[in-house]
Amino acid sequence: NVTIFVKSQQIKLQIDNLIYKEAYKMVYSQAKVIAGGLAHIPIVIAVFYFIMTFFNKRAIEYANAKKPKKVENKEIKAKSGSEIKTETKVEDEKPSSVSAETKTEVPIKLENTTIDKKIIKKKNADVPVNIYRPKTPYAGTVKENYSLLKEGAIGRVNHITFDLKESDPFLNYVEGQSIGIMPAGEDANGKPHKLRLYSIASTRHGDDFEGNTVSLCVRQLQYEKDGETINGVCSTYLCDIKPGDKVKITGPVGKEMLLPDDEDANIVMLATGTGIAPMRAYLRRMFEATEKGKNKWNFKGKAWLFMGAPKSANLLYEEDLQRYLTDYPDNFKYTKAISREQQNTKGGRMYIQDRVLESANELFNMIEDEKTHIYLCGLKGMEPGIDEAMTKAAEEKGLNWSDLRPQLKKAGRWHVETY
Ligand code: FAD
Ligand code: A2P
């Protein structure tokens, strides 16, 4: 019996061994199959990657071949006191698809906007920014500070010029940028005042065309609170400073309000109050004789300024603007909205958006031209009014402003700086 038992145990062990061996073999062969399958995944990914790269490359080549303009921009930065030269070559091809055939669809269609944006970004790469920062501002010397207002005007608006000659590195800038001003003194918590931004009102060559000053157009902020008149910290400081004073300057900053290089561009400007500052720089670049001699930018397009001011006595740089009208009647148009002297059709104050509506047809004829840029600067509060007017004006032309505005923005033709 013992022998039989031992034998049967041996047989059982042998059978168990056999079973284990078979199971092991099966698991091993399954694992081999799975590993083999997994090994194919990188190969499949690589094949897809090559296919996609190939088609992307082809798509970019195709889009580049269709883009409307080829812009080469080379900016030579200024050394102290020297000139900034902008060499620009614009090769124009026919506009891609600007048509106004039907009234039911949106007739203006701007193609290649991504490409246009890339071109704009590349073109603006040379624009100087943040040469001076709040921790290490430049102490500019006040050259002049005078009122821009006439007898009977409301408030206080000054033209202020700073000498930048001594700045090292040189604080150069281009039209449409802003600088920061750090007012002297401390805030209620004993900390230095924070900087405030101001649009630059001069061209890069400065008001005296020597290329080493910057000018601002500043309205003193004043409002009533609990029966008391509150004066804005920085705007009051700026309106009060005297020639010879030193002022902490930062910047320049901003690429939103830059002018196009195209000499045939049309420039529509919508300004309220000190929003005229960048527009003054543009108009000097276009129409001021000595400036033109320096910048070699032979503007041939149409510039149209819509200007909002409370009273005639508050109109800023009026003599210069009238001179440009006389000298360049075919290139400059100037439309005023004097809110407290003129009335809109509803009997309310005349604002620039009312003027936009009056000129809807002519304005939108210009906007349909892909060379037209629109610049909006001044009171933040005017934005909804301008949008409403543009919506109505667009409707009169069978256009949809909420579709069109983002297209203009993408194409780098809609520029807004409000505060
Ligand atoms: P603050 O002492 O800073 O007082 C402003 C504060 O007062 C507000 O924040 C608000 O809290 C309060 N306040 C204002 N009005 C009222 C009111 N009616 N009732 C109650 N509280 C109120 N300004 C120009 O004059 N010219 C320019 O060219 C110009 N360009 C600018 C460009 C950019 C890009 C920006 C962002 C702003 C620009 N400004 C310009 C505005 C400027 O930066 C300052 O904001 C302005 O001068 C006021 O600064 P402040 O120090 O005098 O006023
Ligand atoms: P108003 O103040 O009569 O209402 P300034 O900066 O010199 O005060 O000029 C700003 C101009 O913009 C004024 O004529 C002012 O009119 C006008 N304005 C005020 N609010 C708006 C608005 N929401 N849209 C357009 N213009 C405005």
Query: Distance from the CA of 218 to the center of ligand 1, in angstroms?
Result: 10
Q: Which two tokens stand for residue 155?
A: 């408030």
Is residue 198 among the annotated active site residues? yes
Q: Which atom of ligand 1 is nearest to the CA of 223?
A: 18
C-alpha 283/C-alpha 286 separation (Å) is 5
Which residue among 272, 354, 386 has the greatest number of ligand 2 atoms within 8 angstroms of its CB, and so is best to mutate?
272
Q: Which residues line ligand 1 (CB under 6 A)?
A: 178, 196-199, 217-219, 221, 223, 225, 232-236, 274, 277, 417, 419
Per residue of the chain (419 residues), what is the pLDDT tens digit? Answer: 677 777 778 877 787 777 778 877 887 778 777 777 787 787 878 777 777 777 666 665 655 444 433 333 333 333 333 333 333 332 333 333 322 233 333 344 544 445 566 666 777 899 999 999 999 999 999 999 999 999 999 999 999 999 999 999 999 999 999 999 999 999 999 999 999 999 999 999 999 999 999 999 999 999 999 999 999 999 999 999 999 999 999 999 999 999 999 999 999 999 999 999 999 999 999 999 999 999 999 999 999 999 999 999 999 999 999 999 999 999 999 999 999 999 999 999 999 999 999 999 999 999 999 999 999 999 999 999 999 999 998 998 899 999 999 999 999 999 999 99
The protein residue whose alpha carbon is closest to atom 24 in ligand 2 is 382
Pick the closest to residue 165 from 199, 139, 129, 136 (CA basis). 139
C-alpha 379/C-alpha 275 separation (Å) is 7
Which residue among 145, 195, 221, 382 has the greatest number of ligand 1 atoms within 8 angstroms of its CB, and so is best to mutate?
221
Edge-to-edge strand list for the sheet holding 138-147: 196-199, 178-182, 246-253, 138-147, 157-163, 213-219
Beta carbons within 8 Å of 100's beta carbon, 6+ residues apart: 107, 108, 368, 397
pTM, whole model, 2 decimals? 0.78
Q: Which atom of ligand 1 is nearest to the CA of 221?
A: 52
Query: Distance from the CA of 405 to the center of ligand 2, in angstroms?
Result: 23
Report which DSSP code applies to 96. Answer: S
Q: Which atom of ligand 2 is nearest to the CA of 310?
A: 14
Angle separating helix axes 401-410 and 382-396, nearest 10 degrees = 110
pLDDT score for 1: 65
Is residue 419 among the annotated active site residues? yes
Report how far apart, in Å, the C-alpha atoms of 208 and of each of 163, 328, 329 are: 11, 22, 25
Q: Which atom of ligand 1 is nearest to the CA of 201?
A: 28
Catalytic residue among 132, 138, 173, 198: 198
| Beta-bridge partners for 71 | 90
Does 355 sit in the ligand 2 pocket, CB within 6 Å? no
Is residue 199 among the annotated active site residues? yes
**Cis status of the peptide bond prior to 260, with omega within 30 of 0:** no
Which residue among 235, 250, 280 has the greatest number of ligand 1 atoms within 8 angstroms of its CB, and so is best to mutate?
235
Report which DSSP code applies to 368. Answer: T
pLDDT score for 16: 79
Beta carbons within 8 Å of 79's beta carbon, 6+ residues apart: 170
Q: Which atom of ligand 1 is nearest to the CA of 196?
A: 43
Q: Which two tokens stand for residue 417?
A: 């700086």
**Cis status of the peptide bond prior to 169, with omega within 30 of 0:** yes
Q: State the sign of the Cα–Cα–Cα–Cα dihedral 324, 328, 329, 331.
A: negative
Query: Distance from the CA of 231 to the center of ligand 2, in angstroms?
Result: 19
Query: Distance from the CA of 141 to the center of ligand 2, in angstroms?
Result: 32
Angle separating helix axes 401-410 and 113-123, nearest 10 degrees = 40
